[in-house]
Amino acid sequence: MNRTLTVSILGATLVALTGCQSNPIKFGGQSNVAVVDSSSRTHLQANLTMTDYTALAEQVTNKMLSSKFVQRWGSKKPKLILAKLRNNTSDESIMMRDIYDRITETLLNSGAVRLVDKSATSFDYVVRSELSSKRQYNRGGEELAEYKLELKMFKLDGEMKGQWSGTLTLAKGKKSYF
């Protein structure tokens, strides 16, 4: 092989290997971007993610199911109507249907209740749910957001029989540009 061909092959190999080098990607002020575990609750903002609100819905529903009131039902499975979930936050992008679906799934999987449609004429309890939030900011630009999910159970005559809630607090530090 002649010297020019060898240098050309060596040069092409170096270029190809250099092109395969991995460099950190800059993104939104972050120095490195990495793949994160989908079950982790990593945040870049003080906003809820789908993982957050489905976990919060499951936590609060399980709190209701493990309460003394519900445990006293024993093998009796009352009929519940799960009313529409109210979004009392300033974030209209929260997928309220996903939260509602997680509450429904948790209730059904528990085997403790029978869920009936809102149009049902025979039922024992109505469960109303609401997601609310409050935000605080300090002078340094840091943000603290607290989300609260509440479930309230009522009898047919309007008497409240139970209330369960859970909170999730998220913080966002000041952006660093250097």
In this prediction, residue 4 carries a pLDDT of 62
CB 129 within 8 A of CB 149: yes
| CATH classification code of 50-172 | 3.40.50.10610
Residues 6+ apart with CB under 8 A from 38: 51
Instruction: Give the tens place of pLDDT for each residue, 40-62.
Output: 444 555 667 788 888 999 999 99
Please tell me the number of Cα atoms within 13 Å of 162 on its side-chain side: 19
Name which residue leads in pLDDT, 31 or 57: 57
H or E stretch covering 169: strand 160-172
In this prediction, residue 3 carries a pLDDT of 62
In this prediction, residue 102 carries a pLDDT of 96
Work out the pLDDT band at 1, boundaries 50, 70, 90.
Answer: low
Work out the pLDDT band at 6, boundaries 50, 70, 90.
Answer: low
Instruction: Give the tens place of pLDDT for each residue, 61-114.
Output: 999 999 999 999 999 999 999 999 999 998 888 899 999 999 999 999 999 999
In this prediction, residue 86 carries a pLDDT of 96
**Cβ burial, residue 9 (10 Å; 0-12/13-18/19+):** exposed
**Cβ burial, residue 175 (10 Å; 0-12/13-18/19+):** exposed
Instruction: Give the tens place of pLDDT for each residue, 112-163.
Output: 999 999 899 999 999 999 999 998 887 777 778 889 999 999 999 999 999 9
In this prediction, residue 26 carries a pLDDT of 43
Residue 22 has pLDDT above 80, yes or no: no
Domain-wise residue ranges, the chain: 50-172
Vertex 67, ends 156 and 119: CA angle to 5°?
30
Tell me the C-alpha distance between 38 and 17, whole Å.
32
DSSP state at residue 82: E
Tell me the C-alpha distance between 130 and 23, whole Å.
45
pTM, two decimal places: 0.71
The string of DSSP letters for 127-157 reads: EEEEEEEEEEE-TTS-EEEEEEEEEEEEETT
Among the listed residues 87, 105, 98, 151, the one whose alpha carbon sits nearest the alpha carbon of residue 125: 151
Vertex 99, ends 96 and 100: CA angle to 5°?
85
